[in-house]
Amino acid sequence: MNSEKQIEKKFCDKVKSIGGMALKFMATACAGVPDRIVLLPNGKVYFVELKREGGRISAIQNIMFEKFQRLGSPVRIISTEKMIDEFIAEVCEDVTSI
């Protein structure tokens, strides 16, 4: 099983490999924000929370993620290498469809 740090590194490396950036999201005045803002060449932006396999989001994260969704900015929660690959496949479709 991978640690959250290992998942985060693999995720960031994969995003970089497709020409994107996975920036650390640090909102010091606002608890519960996702770990990463993902910027892709097509101008798409994704918010991603990374967890170790079996990791759970906290109550404050759940509240914040719901607020993001109401604003039209869904948050992806990724905790396995398979989920990383699925995310990359999905966003690569978005990049190539432009």
Domain-wise residue ranges, the chain: 4-96
Per-residue pLDDT of the chain (98 residues; tens, 9 = 90+): 788 899 999 999 999 999 999 999 887 788 899 999 999 988 999 999 999 999 999 999 999 999 999 999 989 999 999 999 999 999 987 655 44
Using N-to-C axis directions, what is the helix angle for 4-17 and 81-96, rounded to 10°? Answer: 20
Residue holding tokens 């990791």?
55
Quote the DSSP letter at residue 32.
T
- What pLDDT is recorded for position 96? 53
User: In this predicted structure, what is the pLDDT of residue 2?
Assistant: 83
pLDDT of residue 18: 94
Class of the 4-96 domain? alpha beta
Give the pLDDT of residue 98. Answer: 44
